[in-house]
Chains A and B, each alone.
Chain A
Amino acid sequence: MKHLLSIEQLSREEIEAILDRAESFAEVGRRDIKKVPTLRGRTVVSLFYESSTRTSSSFDLAAKRLSADLVSVKAAGSSVEKGESLKDTIATLSAYDPAAIVIRHPYAGAAQMVAGWTSAAVVNAGDGKHEHPSQALLDVYTLRRRLGSLEGVGIWIVGDVLHSRVARSNLIAFARMGAEVTVCGPPTLIPRGIEALGCEVSYSLDGIAGADVVYALRMQKERMSESFVPSLREYAANFQIDTRRLEPRQLLMHPGPVNRGVELSGEAIDSPQSLIAEQVAAGLVVRMAILYELLAGTERAPSGDGEGSAPTPIGTPA
């Protein structure tokens, strides 16, 4: 695996390899010194064209825990504001000879284009409404820890599927791991033809009792002005996940940030069924695993002084 551009490109075996790697980093996280020297002397660039808390902070911390040198660039305050094209920005940053570029961009395919312009490994941290593969991997990781396997597990993804890169990556990842996925939301927010990705479609929460996992999506306020829904009130009345609709055996997930009282009730967020905090914790180890899988074993000669206590890469020459 040279880049991580989409879940679509990953086989079940490749997903499992990353998750297994993440398990081993979870152990590192329990030590007093939570750092391994794997990427010492190598540079990771994180380039965010959209605001982000979770994804950017966890990729940054992941790079640091692996001892990489980190260059963090936000579009605001950078030459992007001066009208520099993505291609030119990548050429500039590539001059630092980074081992990896982690990019979030508001348009689909941006990470893939970047991969064509640089020799660094490229990690898609969200491209438009297309994919968010590291989110899907951390969600599969979280569920796998809880359930052991996703085989035959019923997962409902509820909300604004149309505008959600998380929905797309997750439904592909869940289905690839053997889960049975249903996407649910108002018809205005379900993309025409989504069934082709291997899911069922439901326009109401009737039937959600059959789900083992309920994955709620963020509902953005601006969707009302575009007539996707008449009001957040009506949306919440029909699609909010609350403790009344959630059965005790069901697990609840959300990619964050949550609009309390819109897609989720406060009670549901804070209920013991909620995996939201576990998802955030998983984000760090899974992103360490992603960087590790892409970069460890690809050092240029002369190589560093061994890999210390870091695990040996799977399927790649150590």
Chain B
Amino acid sequence: MSLTDALDVRAGEAAHLVFRRATVLDPVAGIDAVHDVVVRDGSIAALAAPGEAEAEGAEVVEAEGLHAFPAFFDPHVHLRTPGHEHKEDVETGTRAAAAGGYCGILAMANTQPPVSTAADVSALREQARASASVPVGFLATVTKAMQGSELTEMVELREAGAVGFSDDGLPIADAGVMRRALQYQHLCGGNIALHEEDPRLSRDGAMHEGPVSAALGIAGIPSVSESTMVARDAALAGYEGARIHVQHLSAAESVDAVRAAKAAGVQISAEASPHHLCLTDEAVRGLDPHRAKMNPPLREERDRQALIEGLRDGTIECIATDHAPHQPEEKDVPFEQAAMGVTGLETAFAALYTHLVAPGVIDLSLLVERMAGGAEPFDLERPSLAPGAEANVVLCDLGAEWTVGEDGYESRSANSWCAGETLTGRVLMTVAAGQVAFRLRSFSLGVAA
């Protein structure tokens, strides 16, 4: 399904744009050349020869030297609505997504109360139609109130429009409950996204278990807390012929488990988060909860390298931010007491471009492909720049340097893991579902002139 068919967004004016002489890169569609990109009536109308596109009635964006990619898709965002609107809501969270170059996001269900009934889903979809800058899909919880014991009414939730299911924030600790959910998926459909963690192994851990936790005296969350659950659920999914999506992989052993499951024919997809791809537990030494406290925790260099290898070989098909807004009073406390989670929507592309592409660790085309890879695991069309596709375009200046947070955030929260860092590569404009969802202020001034 296209993003507009499956997800909800505030209705607006269909853009009529020409991106003049943009460097167009869509590795999946096999496009890598300078074109005039014409957006009209919600679609990519044409990729014309540079300078040749008919611009009558269209806004012309001079894009020479700038890059146009398929806009990004994030399958893992916490919009905090309902219940924690002081951290984020549908309007601010989707504005942050648009500013990060996203044309679609999936919102997690661990709200207060959790999204567990058809009425919850319907209410959120209505909010999205009223205030979302980019299309949003809502996941519902797998178990009632995320208690991990009884399944939600998954058929009715799907009928109400739940894109899939997740108890994210918590694992489904009981293997028997997990198995029932996978069996039931044959009736209700919808992918099941899993936060993999064994609570008996994580206990009161607040960071990765290793030499750094030993030095800091902070209880550790061992890698096997995640990887044993990935292996368990891959085995269950294989046994039941069901489909799972593994969220925020952090440990090398987990990447191995996903790779082995794929080789064995299990229907399994996986995501990794920018902070796990860019940082290690060395970042925890500063004991700054704003930047370095999240679950799963930042792990060691060997884990980070394994995640990068997983991106390269396709074990990990997508990058997901796990955008998790928190207010200062939940972070201005000692590390062990602080809330878990960091924001990421507005910085994901630039951070990964700066940390991985610019130094030559991965190719730009791989990053662009993985940034939009989160749609397909949830049966959504991958954003594409092929003529005729729904218009989902992000325009980036790969030469621009900017300092995270210096102009504030679109998000209601400021707990960015890369706050204060100078990044290279900036999103200038985002077209989502045929509408202009974001323009960088300084850039739009330039366009007007």
Contact = CB atoms under 8 A, between A and B. Distances in A.
Nearest to A114: B334
A191 interface: yes
A87 to B, nearest CB: 5
Interface stretch (B49-57, B208-216, B384-392): B208-216
Given A85-B329, A109-B287, A112-B287, A192 B336 contact: no
B217 A197 contact: no
Contact of A107 (B209, B210, B213, B337): B337
B218 interface: yes
B216 A130 contact: yes
A108 B335 contact: yes
B1 interface: no
B220 interface: yes
Given A85-B332, A108-B334, A196 B220 contact: no
A150 interface: no
Contact of A197 (B210, B214, B218, B287): B214
Nearest to A168: B217
A165 B217 contact: yes
Given A86-B334, A105-B334, A113-B334, A129 B220 contact: no
Interface in A106-162: 107-110, 112-113, 127-131
Contacts, number: 74
Contacts of A129: 217-219
Interface string B200-230: 0000000001111111111110100000000
B175 interface: no
Contacts of B211: 193-197
B333 A85 contact: yes
Interface residues of A, number: 26
Chain B, interface residues (CB within 8 Å), range = 20 to 34
A194 B212 CA distance: 8
A237 to B, nearest CB: 27
Contacts of B220: 191-192
B332 A109 contact: no
Contact of B334 (A128, A165, A192): A128
A192 B209 contact: yes
A120 B212 CA distance: 29
A94 to B, nearest CB: 15
Interface in A260-310: none
A107 B332 CA distance: 13
A63 to B, nearest CB: 24
Nearest to B222: A192
Contacts of B334: 86, 105, 107-110, 113, 127-128
Contacts of A191: 213-214, 217, 220
A108 B215 contact: no
Contacts of B336: 107-109, 128
Contacts of B287: 108-109, 112-113
Interface in A183-197: 191-197
Nearest to A109: B287
B217 A193 contact: no
Contacts of A113: 287, 332-334
B381 to A, nearest CB: 45
B335 A107 contact: yes
Interface string A64-105: 000000000000000000000111000000000000000001
A145 B329 CA distance: 46
A107 B218 CA distance: 9
A8 to B, nearest CB: 8
Contacts of B218: 108, 128-130
Interface string B375-409: 00000000000000000000000000000000000
B333 A193 contact: no
A128 B207 CA distance: 14
Contacts of B212: 193
B237 to A, nearest CB: 31
A105 B287 CA distance: 14
A22 B278 CA distance: 45
Contacts of A86: 333-334
A193 B210 contact: yes
A209 to B, nearest CB: 27
A284 to B, nearest CB: 26
Interface string B309-346: 00000000000000000000100111111000000000
A196 B215 CA distance: 8
B217 A128 contact: yes
A195 B211 CA distance: 8
Contacts of B213: 191-193
Contacts of A164: 217
B214 A192 contact: yes
Contacts of B214: 191-194, 196-197
Given A108-B335, A193-B212, 13 more contacts: A87-B332, A109-B335, A110-B334, A113-B332, A113-B333, A130-B216, A168-B217, A192-B209, A192-B213, A192-B220, A193-B215, A196-B211, A196-B214
Interface of B: 209-220, 222, 287, 329, 332-337
Interface of A: 8, 85-87, 105, 107-110, 112-113, 127-131, 164-165, 168, 191-197
26 contacts: A85-B329, A85-B332, A86-B334, A87-B332, A108-B216, A108-B287, A109-B334, A110-B334, A112-B287, A113-B334, A127-B334, A128-B218, A128-B334, A129-B217, A129-B218, A129-B219, A164-B217, A168-B215, A191-B214, A191-B220, A192-B213, A192-B222, A193-B209, A195-B211, A196-B211, A197-B215
